[in-house]
Structure 1
Amino acid sequence: MNFLAGTIVDCERNEALELDEEIEKIAQEIGWDNVLKEAYLTLASYKVMGLWYAAASIIGWAAEDGLKMPIPEKEIIARMYWCLAKYENLGMTGVADGENLVWSTTCSLAKISYTSDWQPMEDPEIQKMVESFG
């Protein structure tokens, strides 16, 4: 989580830096798979809970762009819902609502409509994964 955490913090501290642009530069250097794996690992760590919204955003941008995920889509969905259960709205409110980010990313990953009735936390496979995360 070294490069990702540092980049997120730098972008939070410096208004001239845009996270999506900085992540794009990093992805050009090390590849999207490495960026996405790092974002996923960030979502798995309580130590960097304050970075969960940014990490989920990175995954969301990639999913929206149709990039292939290096981690199974349902596992990513389960991890994001696990994060929501541990950290309300991923620490955000208003327009930057964490629940909306997670649902939008879920829709992109699962290739479903934003208005879908699917309830990820009622999906047995996702429930089992969320429970395994502890």
Structure 2
Amino acid sequence: MRGFTPNQNVTLLNGQGVGTAQWFVLNNTGRNFNFEMLASEMVGGLEVYKSPQADIEEGALGGTVIVNTRKPLEMESGTIAGSVDMQYSELPDEWDPSASIVTAWLNEDETFGINVSAAIQNRTVERHSQESDFGWFGP
């Protein structure tokens, strides 16, 4: 949401909160959603709420985003979508791959379906920093 930091928004996956582990400076994780854990092929739609409503989870100052994944009966049987990607990281001077795929199967009557999806990501991270804990200034 424009004008708000990520920790002032709520992001839900299929209407549910998802805990993620991701490194941040000085362990300042706050409330976050790691969008890297979900390949774009797996996203079926987004709902964005900028005003509070009684039927969605509360707690967002900026807004609430609900990421909905694809559902088996919404896809045609035999559909396959995927991607392959390479990312260059300058500091470690490494190329790292990522790939994702999603496919659907439906029975003949199209009353039962299965989605199968997979994603893999390999990232080389090199960090050069200096951190200080100024806790001794405390109240």
If the length of structure 1 is used for normalisation, what is the TM-score?
0.21
The structure with the largest strand share of the pair is: 2
Asked which structure has the greater CA Rg, the reply is 2
